[in-house]
Structure 1
């Protein structure tokens, strides 16, 4: 039985986030991805495997080459989960901004 990896643990790693950034621009082979890092191909392959297991990447095969593609649908799921927290912080920061403007207006009187 294969266990699913946690997508948030996957994106917590800076190397995996960098891989997502690269592949978001264009589909890439593992070798092309690895060329962008000062790590062994085996290490980068492990990162790619984790991203693939979390469905943040998908793969297609063209001849002998495997290409990894960014999966925006999975990232959308993350964005949906984060939305209530983003709204909460936006509201709090707006409230702080309003308070500071009010304090500034009172000191200028």
Structure 2
């Protein structure tokens, strides 16, 4: 359920629905906090804290909330297991985009040049 609410939050953020996205992110957090991953199917094994935070950084970016987007993207990059290279790449991209959103062109360029 956490994954489904996180995806709903992303869709709502893309549509510019701040209130709906915030509601869905809150629900995702609640379900994630109470999740028992031992009962999850194997295909859901990738859904961890880094994945949830990564979903949220996309939301904040799409909602134009640069400081929150940067904070969540930095945390997602920090937590994402390098074996999930695609996810890590997306989080780094969102971090650079969020830095641009905040007007920090140099940080975004440096992020992309280093990574």
TM interval, shorter chain, is under 0.3
Between Structure 1 and Structure 2, the one with more helix by share is 2
Which structure's CA Rg is the greater one?
Answer: 1
Tell me the TM-score normalized by structure 2: 0.26
